[in-house]
């Protein structure tokens, strides 16, 4: 077997290994930053009942960045994540906590009305059945 065919002597494999170590460090930093974003967002929601949309957007792009790193580390892609490529862009913003709770509250009365109507219909049907039995 010649030196050219030995995989452990392939320079590109060693370079990828070096990049993998670097990106594992970046992944650790990204996880810490995610933790900070989560805590800050939670505190914001506790005191204002609404999310910070800039943090939501940053959190989404940070999640995509972590995904890109993991795809590179697991050999699913050869494309290097940031800083060797562009920072991922958040695609869309999710509804804020206040908007989500308003939507839930506005749909709740409709559900209650539907449930009351169904219950009333069942009671009416049950009453009609009872009246039929009494007449017999």
pLDDT, position 36: 97
Q: Which residue has the tokens 């995989």?
A: 7
Token pair recorded at residue 70? 């993991």
State which H helix or E strand residue 27 sits in. helix 11-48
Name which residue leads in pLDDT, 32 or 94.
32
**DSSP code per residue over 36-56:** HHHHHHHHHHHHHSS--HHHH
Rounded to a whole number, what is the distance in angstroms from the first to the last CA of the chain? 99
Q: Is the sign of the CA dihedral 66, 72, 77, 83 positive or negative?
A: positive
Q: Is the pLDDT of residue 38 over 80?
A: yes
Inter-residue contact 57 to 93 (CB < 8 Å): yes
pLDDT, position 9: 82
pLDDT, position 27: 97
Q: What is the mean pLDDT of residues 43-69?
A: 94
Could you give the maximum distance between any two Cα atoms of the chain, in Å? 101
Q: Is the pLDDT of residue 72 over 90?
A: yes
46 phi/psi in degrees, rounded to 5? -60, -40
Model-wide pTM > 0.75: no
51: Cβ contacts below 8 Å, ≥ 6 apart: 41, 44, 45, 96, 97, 98
CB environment 8-31: b (16+ within 10 A), e (fewer):
eeeeeeeeeeeeeeebeeebeebe
Q: How far apart are CA 20 and CA 63, in angstroms?
A: 18
pLDDT in tens, 80-131: 999 889 999 988 655 555 566 666 666 555 555 565 555 566 555 656 565 5
pLDDT in tens, 39-49: 999 999 999 98
């Amino acid at each position: 077997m010649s030196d050219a065919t030995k995989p452990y002597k392939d320079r590109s494999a060693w370079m990828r290994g070096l990049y993998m170590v670097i990106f594992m460090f970046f992944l650790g930093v990204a996880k810490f930053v995610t933790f900070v974003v989560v805590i800050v967002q939670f505190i914001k929601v506790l005191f204002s009942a609404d999310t910070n949309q800039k943090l939501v957007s940053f959190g989404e792009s940070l999640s995509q960045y972590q995904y890109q790193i993991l795809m590179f580390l697991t050999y699913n892609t050869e494309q290097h994540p940031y800083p060797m490529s562009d920072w991922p862009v958040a695609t869309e913003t999710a509804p804020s906590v206040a908007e989500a709770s308003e939507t839930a509250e506005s749909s709740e009365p409709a559900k209650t009305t539907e449930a009351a109507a169904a219950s009333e219909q069942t009671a009416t049907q049950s009453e009609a059945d009872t009246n039929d039995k009494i007449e017999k």
